[in-house]
Structure 1
Amino acid sequence: MEPAAAPSLRTLLGRRDLGLRLVSDESELVDGALEQPVRWVHNSDLVDPTPFLAEDLVLLTTGMQLAEEDAEGATAYVARLVHRGVLALGFGSGVHRVGVPDELIAACAHAGLALFEVPYDIPFLAIARAHAEAIAASAYARRTWALEAQRALAIAALRPHGLESTLSELSRRLGCWVGMYDATGALSHEHPTALGSGADAVAAGVAELLARGGAASRTIEDPDGAFTLFTLGRTGQLRGAIAIEAAALDAETRAVITSVIAMAGLALEQNEQMSRARRRMHTQLLASLQDDDPTLARRVLGSLPAAPVVLAVAETPRAGALIDWWERRRTDAGVASFLAEGPDGVTICVSAADAAEFDEVAGRLGIRIGLSSAGEYSGFSQAHAQALTALRRGRSGVTRYADATSGGVLDALGGEETRLLARTRLAPLRRHDQETGGELELTLRVWLEHDAHSERTAAALGIHRHTLRTRIAQAAGLLGSDLSSFPARAELWAVLRAAG
């Protein structure tokens, strides 16, 4: 990164036209003391000028306020300056004292304050003017750098793979690592080389920003380095993020980065418009595939994932990120896929050999996905129905149809609408048991579990068989059902299973 606009103390001391001489022993100063940026140069002969001073400045004095051979006064004076944040003290020699007083040298050495001598023929104004000129020159250099950088970035944007070329050029101009992450939080481009240490911290920071969904930036302080992150896209429609291996960014650097973010956002938005047009076409092709005929889709697209295939239906809160992830898998790993958006979610068709990819993307995006069994395109509509069933029954991550229906047909009656119907049907029975302390519902369950056999049911419940018959008749009356027939008993069993 380029240096800050304010010149350092070493830069001022290095001006030969000023003839400044460092009195302090540099080895006794704090490391980097001479490299601190000097924000301003001020002069004062007050005993206590600190109420009128700002931090990070150099103070010039003629020493008129210091009594001769007053070590205690010099120590107190220097202590006040250090406490206020003064970076260095310049002593004008020959005005009131010839040479720098020994007691002042000792006080500065004890406090670790840099002390330099200003020759008699150098006015303090010349030092202040030299400092201002250095700031102006540095600011001009930074503005010139920013203009040249933006010109180079604009040229890079015109090259093939313009977005990636622009980010690589930004990395070269800043002299640091730059990476771009897609909407799923996956690293899609980096320069100059792969980021080693700090990669996990950056990826986690990007994932957190994208999960929030709002346009933002943040700085990550990691033992392996500092990084600044910027999101791409509008709030609610984030397209990714850019990470830069730097924490302190001056105004010119931020202006250059802002221009890159704007260009990246525009490029991604154009890509998104093309992607939306492609998705609309895929949605129309999905309707033809659901007729179990892949002829039209193959004719339009050229090819489809090789059979046998599996179908997935994913919930849509992050549809754009999900589609971007699959597009990148197709580009980077050659994973053939067909994607289309519909009223039920995003439908994804891949070869059965690539089914494990769904577990990765569901974990990365934190979404639910229903996955069908493997089959041919002639069974596309059935596979789509399986994926929808798995999605509706799944709680998190990927739910496979075989797992969702492992309990049999009756377990498939677990929908909320079915449960409501079953509980409504059993309401008179349950109300009776609650009001009387009876066990009619339990009796019916045990009776049906024992194939409506009176002797075994009575033994299981520990009651007389006449008591059992009375309870069954009473329950049948409350339910308004004739339980002597098999269809009525089968329906009752389904109601009991669905009600829970």
Structure 2
Amino acid sequence: MNAPVDTPTLRALLTRGDLRLSLADDEGLDPAALDRAVRWVHSSDLADPTPFLSEGLVLLTTGTQFEGEPDAAAYRAYVHRLAARGVVGLGFGTEVVRAGLPPALAAACREKRMPLFEVPYRTPFIAVARANAEAIAAQTYARRSWALAAQRAIALAALRPDGLGATVAELARQLDTWVGMFDAAGELSREHPLDGLDAETAEALRREVTGVLNRGARAGSSLRLGDTPFSLQTLGRGGHLRGVIAIAAGDLDQEGRGVVTAVIAMAGLALEQQQGLSRARGALRAGLVQTLLSDDPALARRIARELWGPLPAAPIEVAVTDAAASRTDAVAELLELRVDERRGSLFFGRGDDGLVVVVPAGERAALDEVAERFGLRIGVSEPTGYDGFAVAVGQATVARDRGAGPVTPFAEVARSGVLSALGEEARALARAELAPLMAHDADEGTRLVETLQAWLDQDCSHEASARALGVHRHTVRTRLALVERVLGRDLSSFATRAELWAALRALDPA
């Protein structure tokens, strides 16, 4: 930020010719000590004025407290107290109590690297205080004038065709630093100056922004990446963040914060106005998904070609995400970017149970990126044509719900078999079906459940079952007859055998 007037510093006071101030000794003095901001100028001849001082002051004294020529230790203790309180400089009025600067005082200031300057008799202390006060007032007026001019320039920039991009550029120029705008997906959509960050810093900043967006809370934050401080300001409402503005600057003064607040308000309003268009676009995509579910892609092909480019060429894979409603907007933002980058190789839209994403068979880079960025689970169908779209959505939903990893192909869960998909309801029915046998075994000490399972596993062979159980085949026949009586079922029926086998599998999938 350019400051049109000198910042109130000790150096600025020393260069005022009308005050005739002179620095006592700059040997060993850090040049930056003269450039610290002077918040006020105060005068006191107390031996310990620190209870009445605040940090960032210049103290003026005539040395009355040093009458009687105290030893060097007294001067050293005095200067140490001032330094500990944050006093930025000490002015000594000469020819009032004594001529010239006390050597012991100069030595103590040199030891603590405290700037010591002489105030000649003809310069009233009030003149030094007034000069600093005038500098503070001039700086305050200049900063407020700058803030008003900056807000006018930013408001005019917002009226340009790319209002958001122009606003970001104007804010960067006014603050004289890098400014970037990230969208709801955490992608850098606008920046000024272009490529103003090195690749490592840019990637680290993107990760920080993604974390802020994933938390979903509206807030401002500060961080440091390497040697560069950054301020992050969210855009949008809590739970519905529309992006983040990042500024390569640390703490801003009140005027700077006011300018940034104005930009945040304008950018947030612009993004909220775009939300209606985004909703309409999302509704259209959802409608196209519904038409694809009819396994007739003709209408979807026509509309998609006009708006987003052609649908991915068959064979395709269909994916379904578990994105909650509150996260769908952010996921859609990222997918919109990928659609623009990869026209004809990606389509997506809201389905009945999550976002539906269509990619060419085997090309899952976008799916992996979404799963990693947002911590989602995604199921992927087997390769298919658009005439099998509805079946593919069903496969992807099953793969998503039953998969263990972030992206699960349907082929992985299909290998586990149909019965592995049975849930608690099936197990409850199985327990009810087999309860009479279990009760009989418990009450009578029989082995009916074990015998039935062995017989079914041995393809209903009495001889093989007998060998597996270590009993005679007539024993197997007798037990199976008892099973029929206890259950009231005919084991010669294939349907009965299949149902009992499924019940046993549901209770013991191994």
| TM over 0.5, shorter chain | yes
Distance 2:90 2:445 in 1: 93
SS of residue paired to 1:54 = coil
Cα offset for 1:465?
4.8
Equivalent residues in 2 for 1:38-117, closer than 5 Å: 38-70=38-70, 71-117=72-118
Per the alignment, residue 34 of structure 2 pairs with 34
Q: Are 1:327 and 2:336 counterparts?
A: yes
Per the alignment, residue 154 of structure 1 pairs with 155
SS of residue paired to 1:166 = helix
The worse-fitting range, judged by mean Cα deviation, of 347-356 and 461-470 is: 461-470
The worse-fitting range, judged by mean Cα deviation, of 324-333 and 296-305 is: 296-305
Per the alignment, residue 227 of structure 1 pairs with 230
Identity among equivalent pairs (%):
52
Per the alignment, residue 377 of structure 1 pairs with 386
Distance 2:126 2:386 in 1: 86
SS of residue paired to 2:65 = coil
Per the alignment, residue 311 of structure 1 pairs with 318
- CA contact 1:6–1:39 (8 Å) conserved in 2: no
SS of residue paired to 2:314 = coil
Per the alignment, residue 374 of structure 2 pairs with 365
Amino acid at match of 1:50: T
Structure 1 residues 281 and 333: alpha-carbon distance in aligned structure 2, compared to 1, 3 A threshold = closer
The worse-fitting range, judged by mean Cα deviation, of 465-474 and 69-78 is: 465-474
Per the alignment, residue 269 of structure 1 pairs with 272
The worse-fitting range, judged by mean Cα deviation, of 94-103 and 351-360 is: 351-360
1:286 aligned residue (285, 289, 302): 289
Q: Which runs of 5+ in 2 are unaligned?
A: none
- CA contact 1:21–1:116 (8 Å) conserved in 2: yes
Distance 2:141 2:356 in 1: 55
Structure 1 residues 137 and 463: alpha-carbon distance in aligned structure 2, compared to 1, 3 A threshold = farther
Distance 2:121 2:468 in 1: 114
Per the alignment, residue 127 of structure 1 pairs with 128
1:207 aligned residue (189, 196, 210): 210
Structure 1 residues 65 and 391: alpha-carbon distance in aligned structure 2, compared to 1, 3 A threshold = same
The worse-fitting range, judged by mean Cα deviation, of 149-158 and 120-129 is: 149-158
Distance 2:440 2:368 in 1: 48
Amino acid at match of 2:398: T
Amino acid at match of 2:131: A
- CA contact 2:6–2:12 (8 Å) conserved in 1: no
1:343 aligned residue (352, 355, 370): 352
Q: CA RMSD in A?
A: 2.7
- CA contact 2:338–2:366 (8 Å) conserved in 1: no
Structure 1 residues 155 and 460: alpha-carbon distance in aligned structure 2, compared to 1, 3 A threshold = same
Per the alignment, residue 498 of structure 1 pairs with 506
CA deviations over 1:381-425 (Å, ceiling 9, x no partner):
2222222222222244222222221223333x3344434433444
- CA contact 1:339–1:349 (8 Å) conserved in 2: yes
SS of residue paired to 1:494 = helix
Structure 1 residues 407 and 54: alpha-carbon distance in aligned structure 2, compared to 1, 3 A threshold = same
Q: Are 1:451 and 2:452 counterparts?
A: no
Per the alignment, residue 219 of structure 2 pairs with 216
The worse-fitting range, judged by mean Cα deviation, of 85-94 and 402-411 is: 402-411
Amino acid at match of 1:385: G
Q: Are 1:485 and 2:486 counterparts?
A: no
Per the alignment, residue 143 of structure 1 pairs with 144
Distance 2:387 2:225 in 1: 54
The worse-fitting range, judged by mean Cα deviation, of 333-342 and 175-184 is: 333-342
Distance 1:29 1:477 in 2: 106
- CA contact 1:305–1:350 (8 Å) conserved in 2: yes
Structure 1 residues 55 and 409: alpha-carbon distance in aligned structure 2, compared to 1, 3 A threshold = same
Distance 1:98 1:57 in 2: 25
The worse-fitting range, judged by mean Cα deviation, of 1-10 and 56-65 is: 1-10
Amino acid at match of 1:85: G
SS of residue paired to 2:271 = helix
Structure 1 residues 13 and 482: alpha-carbon distance in aligned structure 2, compared to 1, 3 A threshold = farther
Cα offset for 1:427?
4.8
- CA contact 1:304–1:337 (8 Å) conserved in 2: yes
Structure 1 residues 405 and 115: alpha-carbon distance in aligned structure 2, compared to 1, 3 A threshold = same
Cα offset for 1:96?
0.9
TM-score (normalised: structure 1): 0.91
The worse-fitting range, judged by mean Cα deviation, of 30-39 and 320-329 is: 30-39
- CA contact 2:178–2:247 (8 Å) conserved in 1: yes
Distance 1:448 1:345 in 2: 41
Structure 1 residues 147 and 434: alpha-carbon distance in aligned structure 2, compared to 1, 3 A threshold = farther
Distance 2:428 2:328 in 1: 32
CA deviations over 1:402-459 (Å, ceiling 9, x no partner):
2221223333x33444344334444555566778887655554443322233343344
The worse-fitting range, judged by mean Cα deviation, of 212-221 and 416-425 is: 416-425
Structure 1 residues 44 and 442: alpha-carbon distance in aligned structure 2, compared to 1, 3 A threshold = farther
Distance 2:435 2:2 in 1: 76
- CA contact 1:215–1:232 (8 Å) conserved in 2: yes
The worse-fitting range, judged by mean Cα deviation, of 451-460 and 118-127 is: 451-460
Structure 1 residues 443 and 386: alpha-carbon distance in aligned structure 2, compared to 1, 3 A threshold = same
Per the alignment, residue 7 of structure 1 pairs with 8
Cα offset for 1:117?
0.8
Amino acid at match of 2:403: G
- CA contact 2:179–2:192 (8 Å) conserved in 1: yes
Structure 1 residues 123 and 267: alpha-carbon distance in aligned structure 2, compared to 1, 3 A threshold = same
Equivalent residues in 2 for 1:159-198, closer than 5 Å: 159-194=160-195, 195-196=197-198, 197-198=200-201
The worse-fitting range, judged by mean Cα deviation, of 269-278 and 431-440 is: 431-440
How many residues are paired up?
498
Distance 1:373 1:227 in 2: 46
Structure 1 residues 439 and 75: alpha-carbon distance in aligned structure 2, compared to 1, 3 A threshold = farther
Equivalent residues in 2 for 1:296-307, closer than 5 Å: 296-301=299-304, 302=306, 303-307=310-314
SS of residue paired to 1:38 = coil
- CA contact 1:184–1:365 (8 Å) conserved in 2: no
- CA contact 1:371–1:390 (8 Å) conserved in 2: yes
Cα offset for 1:321?
0.9
Cα offset for 1:36?
1.5
Amino acid at match of 2:413: A
Distance 2:133 2:285 in 1: 64
- CA contact 1:309–1:350 (8 Å) conserved in 2: yes
- CA contact 1:205–1:220 (8 Å) conserved in 2: no
SS of residue paired to 1:176 = coil
TM-score (normalised: structure 2): 0.89
Structure 1 residues 420 and 84: alpha-carbon distance in aligned structure 2, compared to 1, 3 A threshold = same
- CA contact 1:67–1:73 (8 Å) conserved in 2: no
